Structure 1
């Protein structure tokens, strides 16, 4: 059975073109012409395997829709939007999107990125140690790659798929700098046409979730001009 996908797009022509193209790729496609309709569908049918969301949706914009989805779901989300300003890209990623494609777009680019997201969602975690203590002390911060979880003491830290795989990749090479292109290749699985802003925004989101004590040393360290390094106890 193919993956179930939800398209959230208020332009009927764009939504229909996407649906037909993605059905040809084997997806089962649901459509929502608004953010409100998308949330109703999620409540009625549960999470799809993937979502494609436009930003300019009317009363409830795409940013709000994504934040509402992220409040209770880690479904992979790709934004498809005519908005190309850096602030919009960053805001969409900060809201919880996993990827961003600008209009006009080629269908083959959308399908390639969806395939990459689907592979990541179904793949086993990277070969990070089964359990790694990222911070000792009280509370301890522990990454359990096999279980797909991160805990701060007894509290589970809720990460999106992208954030979790990013942390696992860094944990696989503790103390080693990983460049942005390397992280794009390993985590986003798409190499040369990746946008490095995506890495920076997800690193920032990851830090807000795992680095709660501003007086403690950073866990994810920025090495200016080179990339990022995971420092563990």
Structure 2
């Protein structure tokens, strides 16, 4: 099946770029290339992309700085890649606004699965419904619009990524249910849980920073120690 999605691949290693390009093009994706941060920045100013695959270590402008600048105005999904696979680097990449992280060396099959999952999630997030009536959820001062995928807090617009929106909606829709990290991985990322808490923890922390009055003492997204997370009941 031929896909219409366009990917910006930002990778300074030519051999990796060619390998990834050939594989993803065989799957129907259109690939634009950038081999340094400045070139990527220029392309982002002139093109719209469905997903960005972004290496951390880039010449001229680093991947994390590029990501931080991008998140000032865009929620396009970003898959980070890096030979640095430590928890610290993962937390830093996700904390700057990445949706997912893939450590080098990686399997092309795993890369494709992550790309497909991010694109499906973002397509759902960005789709404008043709319904006349808005579908709203209200909880703890939040107004979650399921029709246009927006969130307001005390009438102020919040800027959530597709991943953050899905996490929030999942929990608010089921306020009495505790979700394990394994269940969250399956429902949000469509993948199994392999004991790596970092990705989930960072996304939860970033979401709390946007929606909680006091992120250090959260009332909307509560941690159930040793199990997972739940949505706090409205008072």
Work out whether the TM-score is over 0.5: yes
State the alpha-carbon separation in 2 of the partners of residues 208 and 41 from structure 1. Answer: 30
What is the aligned partner in structure 2 of residue 15 from structure 1?
Answer: 17
Whether the aligned pair in 1 keeps the contact of 2:7 and 2:50 (CA below 8 Å) is yes
What is the aligned partner in structure 2 of residue 176 from structure 1?
Answer: 177
* Cα gap change, 1:68 to 1:124, in 2 (>3 Å): closer
What is the aligned partner in structure 2 of residue 43 from structure 1?
Answer: 45
The total of aligned residue pairs comes to: 225
1:162 counterpart SS class = helix
Per-residue deviation at 1:217? 5.5
State the alpha-carbon separation in 2 of the partners of residues 124 and 94 from structure 1. Answer: 20
What are the ranges of 5 or more consecutive residues in structure 1 without an aligned counterpart? none
2:148 counterpart SS class = coil
State the alpha-carbon separation in 1 of the partners of residues 215 and 44 from structure 2. Answer: 37
Q: Which runs of 4+ in 1 moved over 6 A?
A: none
State the alpha-carbon separation in 2 of the partners of residues 132 and 112 from structure 1. Answer: 31
Per-residue deviation at 1:73? 0.6
> What TM-score do the two structures reach when normalised by structure 2?
0.90
Write out per-residue CA displacement over residues 184-232 of structure 1, whole angstroms, 9 at most, x where no aligned residue: 1001111245843111100000000001346976210011101011114
Per-residue deviation at 1:23? 0.7
Please tell me whether residue 71 in structure 1 is matched to residue 72 in structure 2. yes
Question: For residues 4-153 of structure 1, what are the structure 2 equivalents within 5 Å?
Answer: 4-45=6-47, 47-123=48-124, 130-135=135-140, 140-153=141-154
Whether the aligned pair in 2 keeps the contact of 1:54 and 1:80 (CA below 8 Å) is yes
Whether the aligned pair in 1 keeps the contact of 2:36 and 2:61 (CA below 8 Å) is yes
State the alpha-carbon separation in 1 of the partners of residues 102 and 90 from structure 2. Answer: 9
Instruction: Output the aligned Cα RMSD.
Output: 2.0
State the alpha-carbon separation in 1 of the partners of residues 17 and 215 from structure 2. Answer: 44
Per-residue deviation at 1:24? 0.7
What is the aligned partner in structure 1 of residue 229 from structure 2?
Answer: 228
What is the aligned partner in structure 1 of residue 191 from structure 2?
Answer: 190
What are the ranges of 5 or more consecutive residues in structure 2 without an aligned counterpart? 127-133
